[in-house]
């Protein structure tokens, strides 16, 4: 028989693993399925894992899905793929999913504010659950009606219908921004706010207004813009053109808008931070690509994705979901300084 005619070695089965480890197939299933604790000794579990590794055994996921009634697939819905934050959320979710032999299907919104109408009609039967990040308020109805376990990320925890919520300390991040600028001596603020109606941007606005509102002689003026550098530049340029009420600090809802604000300042002959301080939010790669580098709030996006996927797995298994908001931190860089009147 020539080498081309030699039979292909048979793929090892759970029965082969059981025979090699000297245990039953049921024990192999318990150990390799991660459900052996309290039912199989640690020594036996290690022997099963070692035998599986030596044989090169890989579980038949299709057969397992049929037995469990699951597809081992989650849908991650994000507002846009062009934003680095959501790419990092996906990275975190996919890493946890892979460790549990799950797949993650990424579903971006066509308009950047929420999912298209009912993305679940064709995929519902092929999904175990949905994770949705930073969705617009009017996008939630379709998610809630999907008849699948739903985990919301960076979203209103008082919203109806979700099995679990994973949030960042967004209000705390904005309070850190406000305190930093107030401590530098700023009292006239411009809030360059996102025009997108989501919980995460609403709480940023509320936290800023509450913090600055509690400081004597301090004020905040708000202008809104789409999440785009050019739109942010145009909105900031219009606001800064009023020299009688020109702010000394611009607080932006994200780094993209902050980049636009910096461009507006340059077009008007203002120096950042000598004449105008600018802050961002998210700490995207853009924050260190501009000059001066942005003072911004760093969000642990990958951890958001990791905890979101872990929450969905917990819901599917009937286990408690980890609670508590993920901490964020202010990163102070070159775009903030005391206002001109406070400099010595």
The CATH number of the domain where 17 resides is what? 1.10.260.40
Ranges of beta strands (E only) in the chain are 73-78, 103-108, 129-133, 150-153, 164-166, 188-194, 219-225, 249-252, 277-279, 296-298, 329-331
User: In terms of domains, do 142 and 107 share one?
Assistant: yes
Name the 3-class secondary structure at 49: helix
Which residue has better confidence, 100 or 174? 174
Classify residue 64: in a domain, yes or no. Answer: no
CA atoms within 13 A on the CB side of 96: 19
Please report, rounded to a whole number, the percentage of residues in the chain having pLDDT higher than 70.
82
On whether residue 201 sits in a domain, the answer given is yes
**Do residues 244 and 121 share a domain?**
no
Instruction: Judge if 177 and 270 occupy the same domain.
Output: yes
- Would you say 262 and 335 are in contact if contact means Cβ atoms under 8 Å apart? yes
* Secondary structure letter of residue 133 according to DSSP: E
Which regions of 79-153 does DSSP assign to beta strands (E)?
Answer: 103-108, 129-133, 150-153
Indicate whether 338 and 251 sit together in one domain: yes
- The residue ranking higher by pLDDT, 34 or 199, is 199
Q: Are 38 and 106 in a shared domain?
A: no
Q: Are 276 and 270 in contact (CB under 8 A)?
A: yes
Residue 174 has pLDDT above 70, yes or no: yes
Q: Do residues 154 and 292 both lie within one domain?
A: no
Q: What is the mean pLDDT of residues 133-155?
A: 69
**210 and 166 Cβ atoms separated by less than 8 Å:** no
Domain count for the chain = 3
Same-domain status, 21 and 104:
no
Q: What is the C-alpha to C-alpha distance for residues 200 and 219, in angstroms, rounded to an integer?
A: 22
pTM of this prediction?
A: 0.75
For residue 31, the model assigns a pLDDT of 80
Amino acid 26: pLDDT: 78
Q: What is the pLDDT of residue 18?
A: 87
For residue 65, is it within any domain?
no
Q: How far apart are CA 281 and CA 204, in angstroms?
A: 10
Say whether pLDDT at 124 is over 60.
Answer: no
Terminal Cα-to-Cα distance of the chain (whole angstroms): 91
CA gap 57, 51 in Å, rounded = 8
Residue spans of beta strands (DSSP E) within 52-187: 73-78, 103-108, 129-133, 150-153, 164-166
Confidence class for position 9, pLDDT limits 50, 70, 90: low
Same-domain pairing of 85 and 200: no
Query: What per-residue confidence (pLDDT) applies to 136?
Result: 56
Taking 80 as the threshold, does the pLDDT of residue 341 lie above it?
no
Whole domain around residue 42: which residue ranges?
A: 3-59
Q: Which tops the pLDDT comparison, 56 or 145?
A: 56
């Amino acid at each position: 028989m020539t080498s081309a005619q030699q039979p292909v070695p048979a793929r090892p089965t759970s029965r082969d693993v059981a025979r090699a480890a000297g245990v039953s197939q049921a024990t192999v299933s318990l150990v390799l399925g991660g459900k052996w604790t309290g039912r199989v000794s640690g020594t036996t579990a290690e022997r099963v894992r070692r035998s599986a590794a030596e044989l090169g055994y890989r579980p038949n996921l299709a057969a397992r899905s049929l037995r469990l009634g699951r597809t081992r697939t989650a849908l991650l819905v994000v507002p846009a793929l062009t934003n680095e934050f959501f790419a990092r959320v996906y990275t975190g979710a996919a890493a946890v999913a892979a460790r549990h032999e799950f797949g993650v299907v990424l579903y971006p919104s066509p308009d950047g504010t929420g999912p298209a109408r009912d993305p679940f009609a064709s995929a519902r039967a092929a999904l175990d659950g949905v994770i949705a990040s930073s969705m617009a308020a009017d996008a939630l109805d379709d998610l809630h009606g999907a008849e699948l376990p739903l985990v919301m990320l960076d979203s209103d925890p008082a919203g109806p219908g979700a099995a679990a919520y994973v949030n960042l300390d967004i209000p705390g991040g904005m309070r850190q921004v406000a305190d930093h600028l107030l401590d530098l001596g700023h009292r006239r603020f411009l809030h360059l706010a996102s025009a997108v109606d989501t919980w995460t941007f609403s709480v940023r606005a509320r936290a800023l207004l509450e913090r600055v509102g509690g400081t004597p002689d301090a004020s905040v003026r708000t202008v809104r813009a789409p999440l785009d550098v050019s739109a942010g530049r145009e909105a900031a340029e219009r606001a800064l053109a009023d020299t009688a009420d020109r702010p000394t600090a611009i607080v932006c809802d994200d780094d993209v808008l902050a980049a636009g604000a910096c461009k507006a300042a340059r077009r008007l002959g203002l120096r950042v931070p000598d004449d105008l301080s600018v802050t961002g939010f998210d700490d995207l790669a853009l924050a260190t690509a501009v000059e001066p580098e942005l003072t911004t709030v760093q969000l642990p996006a990958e951890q958001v994705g990791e905890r979101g996927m872990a929450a969905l797995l917990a819901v599917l298994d009937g286990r408690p979901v980890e609670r508590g908001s993920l901490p964020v931190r202010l990163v102070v860089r070159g775009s903030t300084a005391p206002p001109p009147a406070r400099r010595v």
